[in-house]
Structure formats: structure tokens, C-alpha cells
Chain A
């Protein structure tokens, strides 16, 4: 989905090329066994149909650190495996972000012949400035993680080398 002209300023786009099949990447995004292995971790639960529920259950490590048992929730808008997933996405890690409500997240997965798979994340965040700052990685130095750029870099490392980035 191309963002409308009115919300371009609150849209962030991230793109990475990964040497893996679209199916492997789809699996890494939608199955809890995989989502706990990179980025912020946690177990993603998807009901992959329009209107289906989405939530990320916190890992034990997060719960021990004081996180709620569900760290992200939302709803599936469109599911076209392994090419396109559109969903709403609400961060529940802290009350300010939870209050900003649901944002819109699109994953586009496209095979580039003889090369790699192109993964694009379009995150539309109208009226969600705190979430926007978090996913842009602007508070990384305070331990809030590096946002989508870091998540995608880690996912690339995991799928291409079998290992996460150190640190």
C-alpha cells in the first residue's frame, strides 16, 4: 500500500535484501519459534486471515524485566503468504505507547531472481510519535533497541549465517 500524501511524514520505510527464500522470510516473521530468535524477541501469534488476531507474547526474559505478558497486539488486515502481510500494530511495552494506539504495518516480500529476497517494511504511524521514535531506533542508547533497522539487520544475520548479531 502506498502511503497517501497526507501521511508521508509519519510513515517510515525500511528495506533489506536477504539471501533466503520468501517462504523462509515469511516463516521468520509469522512463527513464534522464529520471532523469539531475533530483534526484540517474543513469540508472535498470528491468525493469518483478515480480521485475525495478532499478538506478541513476551519472552521470560522480558517478563522478568517487568514487561507485560503481551508486548504488542493488533489485527491482520491482509495476508498473502509469502508475499504480503498488512496488519495493525500497537506497542504495549509502556503506557504512553499503548495510548498512542494502533499503527499500520505492511511487510512486502519480493524475490529478486538469481539474487536475494527484498523485504520492505512500511510503518504508518499517524499520531504515534513515541512509537515512531522507538521504531526509528532514536532511543537505542537508553537500551530501547535499535528499531526496525536493527531488527532487519539481525534477521538478515540469523537467516544468512544461522547466528544473531553479537551484543
Chain B
């Protein structure tokens, strides 16, 4: 499985997207803080966090006895820059071409 596969797989689950949204609202939360927002066992939350960490979407940092989870947007940015831009750019170019054609300028 390559890096993009891991990211898409991680994002394919609603609980994991919810966890990312929680970190987007307030970054650096501990697992206990995240658990309190979910109807799920500690083990379940840990498993989802592991998938997010493996995909690079969450970076965990230890501070004393606490482990804090940070949202890392870079993998999503890489997908955006390499894939989404590529297709949206073509569409924008096509519209620009159409506009030129309709307006009769070469």
C-alpha cells in the first residue's frame, strides 16, 4: 500500500473523519479527551488513531505522561496538489477556451 492509499483508506471512515474534525477545532488533544466525544471503547478509538497515525494524518507527541495528537494536513495537501489541482486546472482552462471561442477572439 502506498502513501496515498493509506490516506484514502484512513479518510474512508466517518469516525476517523470525525476525529480529524475534532483536532481541526482544537489541536493537541489527548486520547481521553477525544474519547469523551465518541460513543466508543478506548480500544476502538486507539485503533482509529493508529490508522490515522500510520497514514501520517495525525502526529502524536509525548509530553510527560500525556500523549497529544496533532492534525497533520500535509498528506491531504499532497493529494490536493498532485491530483485535485491537475483536474480542476484542466476544467478552468477548458472554460477559458470556451469563453475565448464565444467571444470570438483567437
Contacts and interface: CB of A to CB of B under 8 A. Distances in A.
- Centre residue among A8, A9, A146 by max chain B CB count within 10 A: A8
Interface in A1-23: 2-5, 8-9, 11-17
Contacts of B37: none
B3 A166 contact: no
A4 B73 contact: no
Contacts of A5: 63-64, 66, 68
Given A11-B27, A153-B74, A156-B78, A2 B3 contact: no
Interface residues of B, number: 23
B74 A15 contact: yes
Nearest to A148: B74
Looking at chain B's contact residues, the main secondary structure is: mixed
A148 B77 CA distance: 10
Interface in A104-151: 120, 122, 137, 146, 148-150
Contacts of B3: 17
User: 3 shortest A-B CB distances, which residue pairs?
Assistant: A8-B28, A149-B77, A13-B70
Interface of B: 3, 26-29, 56, 59, 61-64, 66, 68, 70, 72-74, 76-78, 81, 85, 89
Given A14-B73, A149-B77, 20 more contacts: A2-B62, A4-B63, A5-B64, A5-B68, A8-B29, A8-B63, A8-B68, A9-B26, A9-B28, A13-B61, A14-B72, A15-B56, A15-B59, A16-B78, A17-B56, A146-B77, A149-B76, A153-B77, A165-B81, A167-B85
7 contacts: A4-B63, A14-B72, A14-B73, A16-B74, A120-B59, A149-B74, A153-B78
